[in-house]
Amino acid sequence: MKGFEKLTTTKLSAWIQLAKIQAKQGQISDRIPQLAKANPGWFAVHICCESGKTISFGDTACVFPLMSVIKTFSLLYLLEHLGAERVFGWVGVEPSDAPFNSLEQLVSDRGRPRNPMINSGAITLAEKLPGKDASVRTLLFCQWLNQLAGCQLRLDEVMLASVRLTRSKANEAIANYLAETGHLENIEIALDTYEQICCLSGRVEDLALLGKLLACENGCISAQNRRIVKAVMLTCGLYEASAEFAVRIGLPMKSGIGGGLVAIVPGEGAIACYSPGLDNIGNPVGAIAFVEALAQELQLSVFG
């Protein structure tokens, strides 16, 4: 019997109560004014099983921007469209022990982004998305994901306006340095594309459906590319806490400052959570607490 099939509503609700208590330790991101409007008490989970069974709980009607969670899928998109050799000519796969928007690390690495899950890597790859400008790129990418995963992502224009109004100085500095070192050609297109794809929004169900693309065999995506993305998620997806959670939980995961988290259980399905309170690294506290309880109880770790 697979792990998810053992789930009972009683256990699930107990873990969610536990996660909600933990979530109170988190802080809502206030760097983007629109993000700061989230209710710290919101919590939602959606699990998509390979069998087609789904399990949903909590504030599942909440719509949130994927923010950094989208980095996982822009990597997948480019691997599928351009191939691993080209993609990893632009970015590395080294874990980072510096914050996700660190300019210092980029400088010490002479402008080559460590991995696609931190901002330098994601901004570099945003410039490579197919399309003549940022809006076309975002639209094509969004359509591709919706078609493949059966989800309903859309661009949150209000969130995007808020992001543009308070454009990250760290991201501007990163983009300028990438351009100086020959890793970026068009700073404005790269940043505009990056900001737009981060504002693709949906519900936990949409995020779980995206995760299922990586978790389960499907005729649409190459098995090799799915493996690559999951490996990068495991080692880099939770920023400098990735190694700690690889040991504690043992699942490929990716978080975003919008409060989203997706965890992949290869061959079984995907767990998506929404919990907007973050720890000081930028990972959602409640979501990680929930996935950890689930993974330990059901022995979901990829390491057996």
Residue range 148-197, pLDDT digits in tens: 999 999 999 999 999 999 999 999 999 999 999 999 999 999 999 999 99
What whole-number distance in Å separates Cα of residue 53 and Cα of residue 227?
Answer: 23
| Mean pLDDT confidence for 108-134 | 97
Residue 1 is predicted with a pLDDT of 46
Q: How many CB atoms are closer than 10 A to CB 56?
A: 16
DSSP string, 155-198: E-HHHHHHHHHT--HHHHHHHHHHHHTTS-S-HHHHHHHHHHHH
Sort strands 64-65 and 200-202 into parallel, antiparallel or unpaired.
antiparallel
Residue range 263-272, pLDDT digits in tens: 999 999 999 9
Mean pLDDT of the chain: 96
Residue range 62-83, pLDDT digits in tens: 999 999 999 999 999 999 999 9
Hey, is 7 helix, strand or coil?
Answer: coil
| Mean pLDDT confidence for 111-132 | 98
